[in-house]
Amino acid sequence: MRIQSCALALLLALICSHVQAFTGPKPGDIVEVSLEQVHPTQTVIGFDQVYYKLESFAKDRQKLFDEICESNGQKKARAISSGADPLKPETFACKDQPGAQLQEMKSVVVGPDGQFYLTDGHHTFSTLWEQPGAGPQMKMNVRVTDNFSDSPDMATFWNRMQQAHKVWLKDGNGQSISPDQLPAHVGLQSMHNDILRSLVYFVRGAAYDKPKSGDVSPEFLEFYWADWLRGQLDLADFNLSERSGYHRALQAASDLMVKPPLSKPVGGGMTAKQLGGLKSVKRKVLTTTVDEKLPLVIEYKSTH
């Protein structure tokens, strides 16, 4: 009888565990997490993108709260007061309710033990991690895309993540890494730099854009482009510490990105069209980026 009782107890425990895995957040749910709660699914970010945002926030504090509200799916922030505090949501107001703009929200996958794995938002969350007055304890709303918490072990979990294209297992040089080499947290001290990822960010709207409604905008979209550029653009030819050199690098990257036919595979088995590639470079957009964003990047790097 004792053996039967033990077997029954074990069976009930397994059933409860299985049920519990599916009573957590479901795909489509919006959950609140602190920055230190989420686990990166990539090891690199473009540091220059973070530098640009930090310098932009330093010059115009309203933009910081616009970023917070937009990332929470709440459009922009209403005009802030001098007492607005990123760690105290009651001190500022957004123009909509959380999740009203789902396409703007950052996304997570729920893993074993209910852990959250960030699949979109590494740059934004790293910026907020570094932002004076914000930091690791800051809370944000995220959108759940998948719940893989029923994975029996981490090897199975990471296999599912790879099959779903929810993890980027390459370092800043494009070399393959294993899941156990992923950092524990976002932020400049934990993540590594990929300068090509920054270049791709700065040519958004000029050489590519997020796929239009009806198409799929994959996680790690910009990394597919950066990885494709890696073997074609020699950054040693450009002085990225000054504006004109950085401008020439962005022009060269843009010209390369619009060169492939839209039907040609670029990365991850996806074509240039699926990755938002444009037929020609939008020079005016690129010029605006050079005039408005690059000076902030260069200023931040020269003063920090």
198 and 180, same structural domain?
Answer: no
Give residue 107's Cα distance to chain centre. Answer: 8
Tell me what pLDDT residue 170 has.
95
Query: What share of the chain in percent tops pLDDT 90?
Result: 80
Tell me, yes or no, whether 240 lies in a domain.
Answer: yes
Query: Per the structure, how many domains does the chain have?
Result: 2
97 and 80, same structural domain?
Answer: yes
Q: From CA 142, how far away is CA 199, in angstroms rounded?
A: 26
Tell me what pLDDT residue 220 has.
87
| Token couple for 164 | 């779903």
Domain-terminating residue out of 167, 193, 219: 193
151 and 67, same structural domain?
Answer: yes
For 133-151, what is the mean pLDDT?
Answer: 97
Please indicate, yes or no, whether the overall pTM of this predicted structure exceeds 0.85: yes
Question: What is the CB neighbour count within 10 angstroms for residue 279?
Answer: 9
Tell me what pLDDT residue 15 has.
43
The backbone torsions φ and ψ at residue 75, rounded to the nearest 5 degrees and listed phi first, read 60, -150
Q: What is the DSSP letter of 135?
A: -
Exposed e or buried b per residue across 240-264, where buried means at least 16 C-beta atoms within 10 angstroms of its C-beta: beeeeebbebbbbbbebbbebeeee
Tell me, yes or no, whether 173 lies in a domain.
Answer: yes
Tell me, yes or no, whether 34 lies in a domain.
Answer: yes
266 and 130, same structural domain?
Answer: no
164 and 36, same structural domain?
Answer: yes
267 and 232, same structural domain?
Answer: yes
Domain around 301: 194-304
